[in-house]
Amino acid sequence: MNAEIITIGDEILIGQIVDTNSAYIGKEFNKIGVSIYQITSIQDDKNQILQALADAESRVDIVIITGGLGPTKDDITKHTLCEYFDDHLVQNDMVLHHVKELFKKYISTSPLLQVNIDQALVPSKATVLHNANGTAPGMWMTKNNTVFVSLPGVPFEMKYLIQDEVIPKIQKEFNRPFILHRTVNTYGIGESALADRISDWENALPSSVKLAYLPSLGKVRLRLSSKGPVKEIVEETIAVEARKLYDLIADVIYGEEDDETIEAVIAKLLTSKNRTLSTAESFTGGTIAEQITAMPGASAYFKGSVVSYATEVKINVLKVSKDLIKAHTVVSAQVAEAMASNVRELLKTDFSISTTGNAGPSKGDSNKEVGTVYIAIATPKGVHSEKFMMGSQRERVVQKSVNKALEMLKKEISKY
């Protein structure tokens, strides 16, 4: 069963907002056996909307439309739907009552204008979907056996309608296959090297299973996908292939996408071993600490961070020797190790991790090549560092280094 998403709004096309709605809808629809065939973004233009609706009708079972339902003149979706369905707008008393109650409860200082009252106008052929979080209702319409669902573009309103109105109605009215995606997360190995290690297994995959490589900075996700009418058969097929994959590359797997992130793995390790962590970051600017502290309960194991972006902070706060910096520069294994050891001592933690490097575009207080990075880890048994060349693009250098630091940290904590 296939669906298409049509997002309406100039703000998406000019990059003023990011379309997170489509990602959410795609993920939730896959859970109930509905595959997204295509995502189309168009302007607030009647002719473009009409053409997009006609094109979608010709190729999918369900069309989800988001946006263009606001009270202002530039929101034309309802009027265009009426033209497409040869329909007209009528006032829905339940929607009008809901709009009045929202204004009474939350917007009592503002008058209820005609444009707000007009939110209760819906196509006469539409089944109204109650929007508890806003004034624009969802609308469910059918033409030539294709279902069209129009939803507001505001994310928290759209999410409510998808979960509480759209998905239950799809589940009730359609027979759907079972779709399963299982995504294995790997760290510390490139896409090509990974593909080489698993090539024989990949070539032997059954035709019902698809493999996708999803590389990002310092990690590669492997997504196994399958679908079929019988849930148990799909689950067992994927499980068998996943076990084979684990046998081949268990050393670089740290978890699964729907399971836990590497930060979550580190959190569990530190918590279970009753160990603590600190960080000393230079060019990464506190990003490692940010990702660590994004985990609930991080205060139990994370003690703090020193963002020693400037050389004088390394000297005055982290007590890195001036002579050491003069002899090796701030971008060196010796300085990285001193940063890790000293922040561990300063904050009295079991583990610490440090970063120093040239992220570019200029070299800063070092003559090392842009992209040169040193990451050090201090443990109860000592300190060690590794050197990396992370490229020349600043954002990529930072994020690749953060990912590598987390990978190194996870491996080190696992030893204790």
pLDDT, tens digit, 9 for 90 and up, residues 16-70: 989 999 999 999 999 899 999 999 999 989 999 999 999 999 999 999 999 988 7
Q: Which amino acid appears at position 6 of this protein?
A: I
How far, in Å, CA of 25 to CA of 22, rounded? 5
User: Phi and psi at residue 133, in whole multiples of 5°?
Assistant: -100, 5
Instruction: Answer yes or no: is pLDDT of 259 > 60.
Output: no
How far, in Å, CA of 260 to CA of 221, rounded? 13
Average pLDDT over residues 243-251: 95
**Any idea what the Cα angle at residue 327 is, between residues 326 and 332, rounded to 5°?**
95
pLDDT of 258: 62
How far, in Å, CA of 3 to CA of 117, rounded? 32
Category of 84 on φ-ψ map: left (φ > 0), alpha (ψ -120 to 50) or beta: alpha
- The rounded percent of the chain whose pLDDT value lies above 90 is 73
- The rounded percent of the chain whose pLDDT value lies above 70 is 98
**CB of 195 within 8 A of CB of 202?**
yes
Q: What is the DSSP letter of 137?
A: P
**CB of 224 within 8 A of CB of 185?**
no
Burial class (CB in 10 A: 0-12, 13-18, 19+), 396: middle
Q: What is the DSSP string of 267-318?
A: HHHHHHHT--EEEEESTTTTHHHHHHHTSTTGGGTEEEEEE--SHHHHHHTS
Tokens of 175: 């027979």
8-22, 106-120, 153-167, 280-294: least confident range: 106-120
pLDDT of 363: 64
pLDDT of 383: 97
pLDDT of 217: 77
Tokens of 25: 């809808």
pTM of the model: 0.65
pLDDT of 114: 87
List all residues 6 or more positions away from 246 whose beta carbon is below 8 Å from its beta carbon.
184, 253
